[in-house]
Structure 1
């Protein structure tokens, strides 16, 4: 197959799509931009940088916040899964919708995602509960799934914001 188009989907579904594509397969991932309305990377505006950090320490339950399109407060995590959790975060600068403007932005995102996934495995082990809380664009959700390796990284549950009291998919 030479190309596939995905327009809508929840973050957990898009991460799973990325996992199925994997980073072994060559793939160019794009998303539809709202302004200007187009597919692909506009290659304009500032480049996006990504950072990772460790937060509140806890037991063998680990949360990973993907704060790319907006900030995810720690209290939203603890309200959903409890206080006994070690919170990690990957965030972007800037942090907004339409943040991916360059192909290099996705390359930097893939690079930064690998490091915390490996650090989480090395620090907490493979036999942990890894809960992922995404606020990410479509392209980053797919790329996150492509980077995650089932043999090399802990299993994960991906949570999705549901208006009726939180939840996971």
Structure 2
């Protein structure tokens, strides 16, 4: 799908998108970002469109930034997360909030509200737990490499894993499943 001029790409329904994930390597970065936003907002084109508009504004302000940095800015705590390395509570809260978008609850194998829960936890183990629990419901937790010591990622439908990998590669995002964090 191509993104032309100043308007948003044509909206597609979920069935069309499920069956046709192809994108052309010659598509603009903007068109690839649009497709990525559709993947991380499954069934919520309104949010994807809002974030796409915010992406365009962010790009107009800082066109030299990497696409993933602008994407992270417009999706944070709504369709994705970026938390400081030592803030495990925020990581759990962000993942819980994202999962709640689809009426899912992550069983953390303990009570994250208990101060002792985080004594033996690390980001890798928490991401692994979230990945496993979300996979049971047909979702995939993704993380990407940041320029600092933060943890960042988003969630897609598992059926969209291959198009997500392809788009991430095309946008130069070092993306991996949450289970591969380490």
Larger fraction in strand: 1
Structure with larger RCO (C-alpha < 8 A, sep 6+): 1
Q: Does TM, normalized by the shorter one, top 0.5?
A: no
Structure with max Cα Rg: 2
Identify the structure with the greater helix proportion: 2
TM-score range for the pair, normalised by the shorter chain length: under 0.3
Q: TM-score, normalised by structure 2?
A: 0.25
